[in-house]
Structure 1
Amino acid sequence: MDKKKRIEIANLEIDCKIGKDRHFIAADRKNKLRIGLGIFAVIGSAIIASGIGETFLKFLGAFLSQENNKSSLFLEFLGHILPLLVGISTAIIGFLGLEKQTAQHRFVGNSYIEIARKSRSILNSINENNSVEKEAEYALLMEKYLDINKEGEACPTNDNDNKKAMSMNSKKREAIKSKIAEFEKETLDITEKRYEKKDSARKLIYLALKFRMVSFFAWVKLIRKSDYKRYLRNMR
């Protein structure tokens, strides 16, 4: 197997690791949200069913003036907040399908793990005698990888999940990408076009003012000629 194919397999492995981390991070995030909303809904429902909330409001009302209409309305308002929040929490859990999404993220993450491990196995076991067989295995892994990407569209991740996953695999990813860039440069004669960074208008104005000030100080002999030349060299 040639160098190009080995780089492709290594790139597939790191892409799968990034995908795995991304979906497991998303699964943990959504699972924490599901548990938090669920605990709140359970505790809130228990408080409402036991009547302790109503008793607490009556106890609170003993310290407020019952003749004040605003105080009565405030207590009545508080009595409706908890049932409302419990209903919203329960509805969010059901509407978003957080439990199902968490399971989907973990399924996709485990699928990426399987491909990453098989990719590493191919790299470790490949030799001149089985290169054709290993290339066929890689082709099947690539097809499965594309299928998993489609499966992951049903449970998308957010930008923070992606950034964390990229950060966790940054060193390995940069190493692989640099190898790909080297290969393209060697075999395809692809070179990056470099653009010179142009100075902004603010910086040009600042340099012009600085030049005039240094020239003025040299003219009135506040600085020596050697210092004047040094300032000019270091101005940029």
Structure 2
Amino acid sequence: LKVYIICGLMAAIAHFVWQKYLDKKSGHVPAEYVEAHKSDDLEVGPLPYIFLPLLPLIFILGFSDYGIQGVKMNVNLAMFLSLFIAMGCELIRHRDFRKMAASIQTFFKGMGDQFANTVTLIVAGETFAFGLTSLGIVKEFVAAIQSLAISADVVGVIVSTIITGLSIVMGSGVASMFAFAPLVPNFAADLGGNATTILLGMQNAASVGRLLSPISAVMIAVAGIANISSFDLVKRTSVPVIVTFITSTIAIWIIH
């Protein structure tokens, strides 16, 4: 958690600076954009509504090992529970059941649009990833690491970097993570390192690597919602992700 708190702070700072730079470079001024689209048929909700999209995450973490353990919570339940809360907020706001019910169509229409736009790309990405795994690319990387006679800390950084690269190419860090993870205890024992430290770096690498991949499911979905190219989204995430990866590596070295 200490590592993640530090990474979160650095990622937030990097996001602020990098997005401001890209906005300026592209000539996009948010205030002017809002002013130019005031005539659109878009209703701006109350300020407290900014917390509604966070509800699924709050429910998932709140009813887990980090919070209340007696309640079973999954993603689908958290999403629909959050939807019902949003419906209640809209009903209180408008005091009109029909208007509230009509607004919920936006939720289901968005689900349908994203299903149509992203499923094909996700299937293509998964097929590509399966092809790379079947060709033995990941196994070759594992064999190469085993042949190197270097310290445990350096091995951890190298493996984490490789996992990041494979996550970018494959759109997922699962395959590469599962390929390397069983070997970590042996690496740590032979090189006098800490297996948990190496695994933490690998886990973080697998997580952030997906955010640099234009074919990962999460990037395709978010790009679809924003109605932009996933490659444009990668430009927006690139610097914050790199800063987070470097911060993670340094923080793990210091704390562990």
Q: Which gives a bigger RCO, structure 1 or 2 (Cα 8 Å, sep 6+)?
A: 1
Which has the higher Rg, Structure 1 or Structure 2? Answer: 1
- Scaled by the length of structure 1, the TM-score of the pair is 0.23
- Scaled by the length of structure 2, the TM-score of the pair is 0.22
